[in-house]
Amino acid sequence: GKKVVMDCVDLKKDVIEYCSGVATRLNYEGLNFVAGDIRDFPIRRTPDLTVSLHACDIATDIVIAKGIDSESKVILSTPCCHHEMMHQLKPQGTFTDFLLEHSILKQKLADAATDALRCKVLEINGYDVTALELIDPEETPKNVLLRGIKRRTLDEARTKKLKNEYTTICKTLGIHPYLWDEYVK
């Protein structure tokens, strides 16, 4: 019973056509389906909610960046694969060497570290963040939900501390994540 204005953006034209067709058949109004790159989608208003559903690799980061740039009140993200960090991961020191000996363990480390750094980026940019289990792990291994709720005020000392933590973590892991340059420095 609520009026909704929702922009839905996806690179896959067939997905957009299918979703648009479903919305038309159900007589849903206020839904705008766009086939294209979210980076090119213009920010027209401050959204109440920005959502990323199983966006692969840095696509999750791109949606998080769009949510931050638009000052979205809430950002929800269910990350998918984490290839960026898998290819960069070269920790400085030996404390994680034992995890890198086996590909599956390296992947799990990359998954957890990527999502933890995404949480930190959201915190740096004024969001209170929680990482939650989305659904039962028996249903899907991709079951993490990152939830960021925009704070009313920023604490500059806290932000500086978070930026230092982020930078230290990235240097220790030998990585340079997509969101670092614009959303941390």
Residue 105 has a pLDDT of: 86
pTM surpassing 0.75?
yes
Judged by average pLDDT, the poorest of 35-39, 82-86, 145-149, 164-168 is 82-86
Residue 133 has a pLDDT of: 86
- Total residues belonging to the chain: 185
- Rounded CA gap, 102 and 22, in Å? 44
Q: Which amino acid makes up residue 181?
A: D
| Nearest-10 Cα torsion for 167, 168, 172, 178 | -10
Tens-place pLDDT, residues 74-114: 999 998 878 888 888 887 766 667 778 888 888 888 899 99
Q: What is the mean pLDDT of the chain?
A: 89
pLDDT at residue 162 is higher than 70: yes
Please answer whether residues 56 and 82 qualify as being in contact, where contact means their C-beta atoms are separated by less than 8 angstroms: no
pLDDT range class, residue 46, cuts 50, 70, 90: very high
Compute the Cα dihedral for 145, 76, 174, 93 and give only its sign.
negative
Residue 140 has a pLDDT of: 61
- Rounded CA gap, 129 and 126, in Å? 9
Please answer whether residues 170 and 177 qualify as being in contact, where contact means their C-beta atoms are separated by less than 8 angstroms: yes
